Amino acid sequence: MTTPLQQALDVADLPVDEPARRRALADARVAPWPERRLEAWRYTSLHALGQRAPRPAAPPAAEPAPPRSVVFRDGHRTGAGLDGLAAGVRLTTGVAAPATAQGDVFDHLSAAFAVDGATLRVDAGTDAGDWLALLHRSGVGADRSWHLRHRIVLGSGARARVLLDCEGARGPALATVDTAIELAAGAELDLACVNAPAEALSLLLRNRVRLAAGARLRLQALDGGAAPSRHELTIDLAGAGASAQLGGAFVLAGRRHADLQLRLRHLAPGCTSTTAWRALADERARAVFDGHILVAAGADGTDARLECKSLLGSAQAEVDAKPVLEIHADDVRCAHGATVGQLDPAALFYLRSRGIPADAARAILVRAFAAEALAGFAGDWPLPARLAALAGLEEAV
Amino acid sequence: MLTIDDLHVSVAGKAILKGLDLVVQPGEVHAIMGPNGAGKSTLAAVLAGREGYEVTAGSVRFHDADLLALAPEERAAAGVFLAFQYPVEIPGVNNTYFLRAAYNAQRKARGEPELDSVQFLRRVREKLKILSLPEDLLHRGVNSGFSGGEKKRNEIFQMAVLEPALAVLDETDSGLDIDALRQVAEGVNSLRSAQRGFVLITHYQRLLDYVVPDFVHVLADGRIVESGGPGLAGELEAHGYAWVADRKVGGAA
């Protein structure tokens, strides 16, 4: 079954009329639409999205960009502040249609329509310094679609800190942001992902990370939910001694929906991973945590920890937490767990008894709970301050 | 300032307070003593507005307001403070942040200007000095990982920062060693003033050796059955609570 969204796809809308894009468009038209009977889509319905007909937006006017950032609006680069990057650090923009489009309907759509994206290359042994931000924005107005494909390539021993910020993305739109990340031996990447609440946006964030021996990924993610906001995070610990430290929080209200699909594969010996997520769902919101860790045969000495703790703020809110460990090696240390609870009424009363109004007291407790997932990360991260705002606190302390 | 009139309170359908009367004027310290199960902590909870307590009859007036009609945060802003018998641990919420949020929320509710973080920190440091508390208290999570004594001292610290008109201390002395008890008592004494009223709820007399009350009341079976001066606490200590019950039975005969 294809959807009205697919049927409305039009060759005339292609940004460049070329064979590869025509092929991708044809594939997108006939690709199976993700249905809830598929395990990976069981808790996230794209039915409403499939009934819409978002169209590619025209390239917007240029706009100023903060230092160390590239601004993308509606899938087009509209500004960049890239003066003074260190030698050995190159951040370029633009993307070509891939020769062959693989994957699902969204990969085909991206292959057909994406015209932009950032490519960050950091040479071996080079430290790219402070945070580099990719700022994703979209306006209000007619239903639109935009697609970006980024690439981050760190040479041996290189270091970089990258913020993928979708806080400025608003609906109504279908947006896909694909980031392919390659970390050579001993490279270190700090990656921060932010999606602020946007009721009408359908956002698909696909991060695919491959780590060589001794490489290290630290990732923080903060999601306010959308319609839906889905983060597909695929991490291959492909070289011995690679490590991943992942922490994230969903802070959801209204009818917003956030979905993390983690596919973390320990493919080599001596790799470590820790994954800590916190999900807060209030009102009619829904959070999905699907965390799958695979320990491949031969990945001895693996240390993998996976945890998701959730708080439900109302009887209509829902959290679906599914931590899974699949272990094919012998000498491993693995742990996983999931809990679902509610805000502690005793703590709430304690705060109120000191004069803090009920809403603010709730926000304080929500922030404290979510912040647990962002604790224990080396260096300064931008997300704890963003969390305060998302939790509804007027100021961060 | 506080007038409790014929207060009846039930918890889960069971009558706990059965016609309690109490009047506290500014500057007065009232001790409420009584055996376990008499309703002491229920009184504290009802005054602070904890959920799960049903007032079936009677009234509580604070200044000119119906205290029972106010939300817990409104009571705090009106000047009522409860020192908890079991202070709640809230990991991840910084003590200073919490106190400033509370302090400024109260000021905002009263239409007073809020303090910025520098002004607030100055005020907090003064209070720490008066109470001889270590500064690291400010940087920790609210009661998180605190010893029993530290939690109780943190309650007194909060009271010192918030400067309530009426402080209700619910068995703040329980579980304290003699040094911690003395520190808590010094904290209370340093806050005694002609404008401030205290209700000290306690099971034992020993707190009253350090904080000498103006009045002592004996709470038994949901009512105040005996009131007197500070000497009453000593008599209770000597004779036990059964002595009061016996006297009541004798008086009724």
Query: Where residue A396 falls among pLDDT bands split at 50, 70, 90?
Result: very low
Please tell me the predicted confidence (pLDDT) of residue A12: 95
For residue B250, pLDDT over 70 is answered with no
Among B32, B5, B84, B16, smallest CA distance to B197 is for: B32
Q: Average pLDDT, stretch B12-29?
A: 96
Residue in chain B lying closest to A372 (CA) = B92
For chain B, what is the domain count?
1
CA dist., res. A390 & res. A394, Å (int): 10
**Test mutation, A309, A353, A359, A374, chain B, max B CBs within 10 A:** A353
Q: Average pLDDT, stretch B144-151?
A: 89
Please tell me the predicted confidence (pLDDT) of residue B129: 86
For chain A, what is the domain count?
1
CB atoms within 10 A of CB A387: 25
For residue A40, pLDDT over 70 is answered with yes
The closest CB to that of B88, out of A347, A357, A364, belongs to A347
Question: pLDDT for B114-128, tens place per residue?
Answer: 999 899 999 999 998
For residue B247, pLDDT over 80 is answered with no
Question: pLDDT for A175-224, tens place per residue?
Answer: 999 999 999 999 999 999 999 888 889 999 999 999 999 999 999 999 99
Q: Which residues of B fall within a CB distance of 8 Å from A347? A: 88, 90
Q: How far apart are the first and last CA of chain A?
A: 51
Please tell me the predicted confidence (pLDDT) of residue B249: 54
The closest CB to that of A357, out of B84, B105, B158, belongs to B105
Please tell me the predicted confidence (pLDDT) of residue B233: 85
Question: pLDDT for B208-221, tens place per residue?
Answer: 999 999 999 999 99
Q: How far apart are the first and last CA of chain B?
A: 36
- Is residue A362 in a domain? no
Please tell me the predicted confidence (pLDDT) of residue B235: 85
| Mean pLDDT rounded to a whole number for chain A | 95
Q: How many CB pairs under 8 A join A and B?
A: 79
User: Quick check: A355 and B51 CB within 8 A?
Assistant: no
Residue carrying structure tokens 């500014």: B26
Question: pLDDT for A358-393, tens place per residue?
Answer: 999 999 999 999 999 999 999 999 999 899 888 887
For residue B5, pLDDT over 50 is answered with yes
Q: Average pLDDT, stretch A282-308?
A: 97
Among B245, B237, B227, smallest CA distance to B20 is for: B227
Q: Average pLDDT, stretch B172-193?
A: 90
Q: Is the minimum CB–CB distance between B84 and chain A shorter than 8 Å?
A: yes
Please tell me the predicted confidence (pLDDT) of residue A155: 98
CA dist., res. B172 & res. B191, Å (int): 15
Residue carrying structure tokens 């302390």: A397
Find the domain containing B178 and state its range.
2-252
Q: Average pLDDT, stretch A96-110?
A: 91
Q: Which residues contact B168 (CB under 8 A, 6 or more apart)?
A: B44, B47, B48, B80, B81, B82, B83, B198, B199, B201
Report the share of chain B in percent with pLDDT over 90: 72
Q: Average pLDDT, stretch A339-349?
A: 95
Q: Is the minimum CB–CB distance between B87 and chain A shorter than 8 Å?
A: yes
Q: Average pLDDT, stretch A340-364?
A: 95
CA dist., res. B40 & res. B32, Å (int): 7
- Is residue A85 in a domain? yes
Query: Where residue B253 falls among pLDDT bands split at 50, 70, 90?
Result: very low
Question: pLDDT for A51-92, tens place per residue?
Answer: 999 999 889 999 999 999 999 999 999 999 999 899 999 999
The closest CB to that of B101, out of A349, A364, A371, belongs to A364
Interface of B with A in 159-178 (CB under 8 A): 162
For residue A251, pLDDT over 90 is answered with yes
CA dist., res. A373 & res. A275, Å (int): 9
The DSSP result for A40-55, as a single string, is GGTT---HHHHH---E
Record the tokens describing residue A46, joined without a space: 């794209």
Please tell me the predicted confidence (pLDDT) of residue A394: 64
CATH code for the domain in which residue B206 is found: 3.40.50.300
Residue in chain A lying closest to B85 (CA) = A350
Find the domain containing A335 and state its range.
4-344
Please tell me the predicted confidence (pLDDT) of residue A171: 80
Please tell me the predicted confidence (pLDDT) of residue A397: 41
Q: Which residues contact A335 (CB under 8 A, 6 or more apart)?
A: A304, A305, A306, A307
Please tell me the predicted confidence (pLDDT) of residue B244: 76
Q: Average pLDDT, stretch B69-76?
A: 97
For residue A395, pLDDT over 60 is answered with no
Query: Where residue B252 falls among pLDDT bands split at 50, 70, 90?
Result: very low
